[in-house]
A and B are shown apart, each in its own frame.
Chain A
Amino acid sequence: MGSFPGRNKFYCNGRIMMAKQTGVFYLTLVLILATCGLFFTFDCPFLALQLTPIIPVIGGVLFLFVLGSLLRTSFSDPGVLPRATPDEAADLERQIDVANGSTGYRPPPRTKEVVINGQTVKLKYCFTCKIFRPPRASHCSLCDNCVERFDHHCPWVGNCVGRRNYRFFYMFILSLSFLTIFIFAFVITHIILRSHRSGFLNALKDSPASVLEVVVCFFSVWSIVGLSGFHTYLISSNQTTNEDIKGSWSSKRGKDNYNPYSYGNIFTNCCAALCGPLPPSLIDRRGFIQSDAPQMAPPTNGITMYGATQSQQSHMCDQDQCIQSTKFVLQAATTPLLQQHSSEPVILTASSENGILTGRTALSLGGPCTSLPLGQPTPPTSTPSLSCHEVVDMLPIHAHTHPHTHTHTHTHNHTHPLQDPMAHHHFLTPEEVPSPPGMLPCGSPMGHSPTVQTGFYNPASQDSLHEDSVRGLVKLSSV
């Protein structure tokens, strides 16, 4: 992915895709591997002999499943929407100007209203990606991408959770719940059996690893099991975390407010979320990189590449337009020729493509066009993407006031997960600050937003951003 504009990292020739900050993901891996390692090394031999050898087998299967789903969640494309080509963006701008009546002064943030299944849904315009976001999509400011059916950005998994990897995420937390409970139960069993033999303190001395495992599992169980329950509820009602936290479809907003995406019954909702068709990744075939051009070299030098790509994608120079037009023309012209002649014309296109793209990269590094400076935060056109950092908690954070009382009236017994996710924003924000500089989630980034993308950010557009940010801040402070 030579010129990917988002803040993602790619490995293995584009097959692996992750968010920029992956530190917490490695922590998750280490915690799971270490705990399971200790379990298999210290507890399983005893349990296999005393009880049954099936225990390590089941443990092993669960462990592999957890690892598999974790890696799948972390490495796959969550459903990133590629940015609009300059032509599309220009066309949209023209349409909006016509609709609003162009004045010198930029009108307020652009929205389109659509009626879906009887409910009016507002589609927001994304200033970064230059598209009107499809319903349920949201812009993740950490990854700097619009993601379809955006659920939340999970730092523990090191990726966004969206349409394409939600099922893997759910399988991950579900299997992790089972694994945690499994390990917890059997480590306790191990200690009890040992205590019968040699006394409690001796048992602890003989198997110190078990103590560590118990501690880790005890604190994990609450949050992970709670989280699984929460997501089971979300799946059965076909909502995203984003929508649930905002209370988009709650009956509190109005008597006629209902979820237009729900299929009506729990079974269909579950099937749709977990067994529905898996759409292919859209970013593999963007217009900027022709699918026939073989250039999937991952950017090893992450930082400079982002600077380059961002300026590449956001400049509207004539050169870019010219290149695009030439590409289209050549493509159009060579398609019929393909049927008659050999594939030579395609190769020509590809190599000229290569030439053009490398030329572009070279240019953009010292480019004359205005570009989005590296690390500048995009104003959150949809704050919930910032505020919902659901976490799989492995650390003891408990007993906070229930922040959801104003949005949740459903009588499901998952008070814990509702507390914990919100609690973790508080815990996580310091972690997130170091990543993109100046990137305070929910901290009004308007002060940072440069008017480099001239005309796109202006006082009027910031009113609703301000509102969103304030709402986010209120939520944070209510923890």
Chain B
Amino acid sequence: MAETHSLQDMRQQATISSKVFIQRDYTRGTMCQFQTKLPAELEARIDKQQFEETVRTLNNLYAEAEKLGSQSFIEGCLACLTAYTVFLCMETHYEKVLKKIAKFIEEQNDKIYAPRGLLLTDPIKRGLRVIEVTIYEDPSLTR
């Protein structure tokens, strides 16, 4: 309950100190990947390993969404045969993974980032351009 307590404090104060944007990493082509390097502004707030782990997991999840596996192939063929009406009742593989990602980010926020006065925004809300990290100014957390 200590986490929610500090979040409520944050809400009452609600001062955003700054925002950091993790840009896309295009070295593997057009696949959705984000840079794992910890930006300077966050060095004081979070452990490098922890952050890299989060981004790496996100990258893996996005890679899974865009993978050219047999599942996506079958899904594509089925969709073509049914004139894409199958998606009226079924979710695409990509959408399923996006849901997984949303849950993952929420969980990371609750467990790791909120206690440190940070907030990760789901990249899909930013058009998969950036991971937006909001840094909150919280007197109780600053030393």
* Contact residues in B for A427 (Cβ distance below 8 Å): none
| A123-B129 Cα distance, complex, nearest whole Å | 14
Asked whether A277 and B16 contact (CB < 8 A) given A149-B30, A261-B30, the answer is no
Q: Which of B7, B16, B21, B125 interacts with A285 by CB under 8 Å? A: B125
Q: Mark B13-28 against chain A: 1 for CB-CB distance below 8 A, else 0.
A: 0101001110110111
Q: For the complex, is A115 an interface residue (Cβ under 8 Å from B)?
A: yes
| A275-B4 Cα distance, complex, nearest whole Å | 45
Are B109 and A328 within 8 A (Cβ)?
A: no
The residues in B between 86 and 143 inclusive whose CB is less than 8 angstroms from any CB of A are 92-95, 98, 106, 109-110, 114, 119, 121, 124-130, 132, 134, 136
Interface size on B, residues (CB 8 A): 52
Chain A minimum-CB-distance residue to B75? A277
* Contact residues in B for A271 (Cβ distance below 8 Å): 68, 73
Are B68 and A272 within 8 A (Cβ)?
A: yes
* Contact residues in B for A38 (Cβ distance below 8 Å): none
Interface size on A, residues (CB 8 A): 50
Are A131 and B106 within 8 A (Cβ)?
A: no
Asked whether A285 and B94 contact (CB < 8 A) given A91-B19, A114-B27, A328-B134, the answer is no
Are A88 and B126 within 8 A (Cβ)?
A: yes
Asked whether A115 and B76 contact (CB < 8 A) given A277-B93, A279-B94, A325-B16, the answer is no
Chain A nearest Cβ from B132, distance in angstroms: 7
Chain B minimum-CB-distance residue to A87? B19
Are B66 and A279 within 8 A (Cβ)?
A: yes
Q: Which of B77, B92, B119 interacts with A332 by CB under 8 Å? A: B119
Chain A nearest Cβ from B14, distance in angstroms: 4
Are B94 and A291 within 8 A (Cβ)?
A: no
Q: Mark A267-287 against chain B: 1 for CB-CB distance below 8 A, else 0.
A: 010011011111110110111
Q: Mark A76-91 against chain B: 1 for CB-CB distance below 8 A, else 0.
A: 0000011011011001
| A276-B30 Cα distance, complex, nearest whole Å | 14
Are B19 and A329 within 8 A (Cβ)?
A: no
Q: For the complex, is B65 an interface residue (Cβ under 8 Å from A)?
A: yes
Q: For the complex, is A340 an interface residue (Cβ under 8 Å from B)?
A: yes
Are B134 and A282 within 8 A (Cβ)?
A: no
Are A282 and B127 within 8 A (Cβ)?
A: yes
Q: Mark A318-349 against chain B: 1 for CB-CB distance below 8 A, else 0.
A: 00000001001100110110001000000000
Are B127 and A72 within 8 A (Cβ)?
A: no
| A261-B3 Cα distance, complex, nearest whole Å | 45
Q: Which of B19, B30, B84, B98 interacts with A148 by CB under 8 Å? A: B30
Are B30 and A333 within 8 A (Cβ)?
A: no
* Contact residues in A for B67 (Cβ distance below 8 Å): 277
Are B124 and A282 within 8 A (Cβ)?
A: yes
Are A116 and B28 within 8 A (Cβ)?
A: yes
Are A275 and B72 within 8 A (Cβ)?
A: yes
Chain A nearest Cβ from B108, distance in angstroms: 12
Q: For the complex, is A56 an interface residue (Cβ under 8 Å from B)?
A: no
* Contact residues in A for B27 (Cβ distance below 8 Å): 114-116
Q: For the complex, is A260 an interface residue (Cβ under 8 Å from B)?
A: yes
Residues on B facing A (Cβ under 8 Å): 3-4, 7-8, 10-11, 14, 16, 19-21, 23-24, 26-30, 65-68, 72-73, 75-77, 79-80, 83-84, 92-95, 98, 106, 109-110, 114, 119, 121, 124-130, 132, 134, 136
